[in-house]
């Protein structure tokens, strides 16, 4: 499993989580997460990279 934690402003902002293993194809793995935490139950073998996407569609830095 892979666990992610982040802080949003304002608190409780719904965000989407996207994952890739090769930076070519991104897959949305969660939508409207408001808790600031996500656990990927089945990350790809060999590792993965994640991005948290704000409601406007702009990734958090």
Per the domain annotation, does 14 fall within a domain? yes
Per the domain annotation, does 57 fall within a domain? no
Per the domain annotation, does 61 fall within a domain? no
- Sign of the alpha-carbon torsion through 38, 30, 21, 61: negative
How do the pLDDT tens digits run along the chain, 61 residues long? Answer: 899 999 887 778 889 999 999 999 999 999 999 999 999 999 999 999 999 988 765 555 5
Q: Give exposure, 35-56, as e/b (b: 16+ Cβ within 10 Å).
A: eeebebeeeeeeeeebebbeee
Structural domain harbouring 29: 2-52
Per the domain annotation, does 12 fall within a domain? yes
> Looking at the 3D structure of the chain, how many domains does it have?
1
pTM of whole model > 0.95?
no
> Which pair of tokens denotes residue 29?
């793995």
């Amino acid at each position: 499993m892979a666990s992610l934690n982040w802080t949003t402003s304002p608190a409780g902002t719904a965000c989407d989580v996207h994952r890739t293993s090769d930076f070519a194809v991104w897959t949305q793995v969660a939508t409207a997460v408001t808790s600031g935490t996500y656990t990927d139950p089945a990350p790809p073998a060999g590792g993965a990279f994640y991005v948290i996407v704000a409601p406007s569609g702009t990734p958090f830095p």
